[in-house]
Structure 1
């Protein structure tokens, strides 16, 4: 399976995460009886679920977000959102199948969870005037598609942000572990190497079989030369636990970057062992609520209440946060549409979004200028540090915002 540059945590793990398990099905989620009661707005919902790689938390977060929109926000001007679910497995064939079903059902737009095969559906959706949106752009075509818009941080910005963050701490050398895959090398060649050169940093980029990594060997190689920081931008929780554990077992006490790892890895190795590991996200995390501004703390409570309402009070990770946030953001933006909610009207409203305060996220403008050539609205990242007593704390000065100018080659 091929993989391009990733977005933030939500899409970055699509090829390296171990199976989570799911029944998987194509279905339509009816609007709740309470709340919005107008004519439903049918929305195509696509997510990778039910196969060898499965992300049910993403779908659950989307459903919880839609339920909150319908019951607490009066839907979209009184009309409830209604998700038409179609599961994918990462292959172009399945994505095409879902696209055809969405066209036949005449959905207003497609709401995407995780779909590495999404590029295959883009021509079908575009010809039917159906835009696609979600949190991250999962494939190169989608990243540059004028019929697509994603609320999250653009892949080049999110992957360069750790280098900018650490360069501000006088880190001049680092070792990163990356998957031995085409997209892993693309990350290295197109983002990490040029960003390192611009920031005056010396990289050591190590590639490993994501399915069978030799952590002892990787740790030994990473530590050779005594880099200022060791880690990886797209480690899964399982990989993070193994890698950090192996590093700590050697007595290493330097800086560790855990990338996209969530609180699950800390639970696996213990809070004391995980303490000091830095991770990143483009959202205010529920397990780091005390670090968030007061307004965002209120939004975190809304998210927690929303997950409790669907019977998932412990599903408070970024995989659920991002789609919950997207559902709320979509409802607010769609409510500005005057007249019929059609595909072109939805795309126009999305792309006219300016200085918009994302639910659980930063302020964004969706005119394609956050990172030229990318369909994402965002270019900002938060950095968290795991605490010995559990949970995380923001250690960046709020959001770290990147533009291409921040990574211009040094003169």
Structure 2
């Protein structure tokens, strides 16, 4: 499964919110392709901070978790023959809800908790750390969670990599000005007020950040604010939902904005109008189905596998978060299957994951975990350009590695 990776450089960032509902319980594995019931070892329990409820839900993450569970308990064969029993807990933006979920996970004696791109995951950490239950995720959307390495492992890049990487790539392509919008939250002000100016100055790019209401956004106004300066790149640093991307792209096109429309990690708007979407750009922590034609052989195989299981989930919500969550569970299972069976405990899981070296992650780059200062196992990311046929093509031949000197100034980035 070893894949050839060559590092380039770039600039980009994440700061969105996915939010969940209320209620915890055990999630049974969905009946997916090749699902079986041949696993006879005792199940291992894994928690899931599920962002399917709340004011800005992100149901794609739950789709990915369900699909992954079907695959892992079916044709993958479990972890050392043990089926995975998922303890799913719906969350919202409140720390209180995250704390409640953490208490449930401790009570259920899970060996790890999977983070569903949760904005309040740091509130779960005190209880999980005290119980020696690691938090495992892709991208830490909670900046407090992402600032330290204690009792947590994230397989994808830190938030800062996505802003740094994208801007770096735009600068390399000769683009000199960007105007980017973000939902108005406390974390957003860290990104726009503090990080964006520093990154822009380091790259020699003119950058402007604007906000929109997370509960009552006016995308006609946002599009007008972007288009009035006619920047080379305009769009979103991050998006709380696919609907946000679709609304902003539509508004910018109505204003006849001719620059590159940057849509964070959104993809649904491309399916609705591929020709109008052409020339846009989006980032990702992993390979996406729309990029399959350009993916290396191993990633192409993994995309086909994930797509098969995601499509089998009832009322599936495919998209970036579904594939990201599938990749999280798959990489976790692959890593723990490579570790001794005796490591299927909270401390053992943390020890095994932090010990990963040049490990091929599912749909992602090779990862090396265990940094003393960062919970993330890589800083690499992908930036895609939207093609007229609806596919997305990497703007570089391989993974982008953001400039180390910039990331080093951001707590938890490296």
TM-score range (shorter-chain normalised) is 0.7 to 0.9
Residue 291 of structure 1 aligns with which residue? 294
Q: Distance in 1 between matches of 2:396 and 2:374?
A: 25
1:261 aligns with 2:294: no
Structure 1 135/35 Cα, relative in aligned 2: closer, same or farther at 3 Å?
farther
Aligned pair partner of 1:172 in 170, 173, 176: 176
Corresponding residue to 1:41 among 44, 54, 61: 44
TM-score by length of 1: 0.87
Map 1:137-148 to 2 at 5 A: 137-143=140-146, 144-148=148-152
1:168 Cα deviation (Å)?
A: 0.3
Distance 1:138 1:173, change over 3 A: closer
How far has the Cα of 1:49 moved from its partner?
2.3
Question: Per-residue CA shift, 1:65-84, capped at 9, x if unaligned?
Answer: 12211211221111111111
**Secondary structure in structure 2 of the residue aligned to 1:353:** coil
Separation (CA, whole Å) in 2 of partners of 1:205 and 1:127: 39
Are the counterparts in 1 of residues 60 and 318 from structure 2 also a CA contact under 8 Å? Answer: no
- Equivalent residue for 1:243? 248
TM-score, normalised to structure 2, is 0.87
Match for residue 194 of structure 2 among 190, 202, 206? 190
Verify: 1:323 aligned to 2:360, yes or no: no
More displaced stretch, 131-140 vs 326-335? 131-140
Q: What's the offset of the Cα at 1:173?
A: 1.6
1:99 aligns with 2:99: no
Preserved contact between residue 219 and residue 251 of structure 2 (Cα < 8 Å): yes
State the partner residue of 1:380: 380
Q: Distance in 2 between matches of 1:35 and 1:289?
A: 32
CA distance in 2, matches of 1:138, 1:226: 30
* 1:136-181 per-position Cα deviation (integer Å, ceiling 9, x unaligned): 2132332114101111211111121111010101112221122233
After superposition, where does 1:108-257 map in structure 2 within 5 Å?
108-143=111-146, 144-235=148-239, 236-257=241-262
d(CA) in 2 for partners of 1:29, 1:61 = 13
Matched, 1:396 2:400: no
| Structure 1 residue 225 displacement after superposition | 4.1
The corresponding residue for 1:4 is: none
Q: Which moved further from structure 2: 318-327 or 182-191? A: 182-191
Any residues of structure 2 matched to 1:345-360 within 5 Å, and which? Answer: 345-360=348-363
- Does the CA-based 8 Å contact 1:199-1:407 persist in structure 2? no
Give the CA deviation at 1:51.
3.1
| Residue of structure 1 aligned with 2:364, choices 357, 361, 365 | 361
Q: Distance in 2 between matches of 1:408 and 1:85?
A: 35
SS at match of 2:156: strand
Q: Deviations over 1:167-196 (max 9, x none)?
A: 101112221122233222110233211111
Change in 2 beyond 3 A, CA 1:230/1:114: closer
Relative contact order, CA 8 A, sep 6+: which one is greater? 2
C-alpha contact 2:67 2:312 (8 A) present in aligned 1: yes
Structure 2 distance, partners of 1:383, 1:33, is: 37
Where do 1:3-42 residues align within 5 Å?
12-14=16-18, 25-30=23-28, 33-42=36-45
Give the whole-Å Cα distance in 2 for the aligned partners of 1:309 and 1:259: 27
Partner residue in 2 for 1:88: 91
Q: How far apart are residue 301 of structure 1 and its match?
A: 0.7
Residues 100-123 of structure 1: per-residue CA shift (max 9 Å, x gap)? 111112111112213322222211
Q: Unmatched 5+ residue regions in structure 2?
A: 1-11, 30-34, 410-414
Please list every run of 5 or more consecutive structure 1 residues that lacks an aligned counterpart in the other structure: 1-6
Shift, 1:12, TM fit: 2.6
Counterpart of 2:338 (choices 330, 336, 339) is 336
Q: Is the 8 A contact 1:286 1:316 kept in 2?
A: no
- Closer/same/farther in 2, CA of residues 60 and 212 from structure 1, 3 Å limit: closer
In 1, the alpha carbon distance for the partners of 2:379 and 2:38 equals: 35
- Change over 3 Å in CA distance of 1:94–1:130 after alignment to 2: same
* Equivalent position SS for 1:165: helix
How many Å apart are 1:56 and its aligned residue? Answer: 2.5
Q: Is the 2:287–2:364 contact (alpha carbons within 8 Å) kept by the matching residues of 1?
A: yes
Change (3 A) 1:199 1:310: same
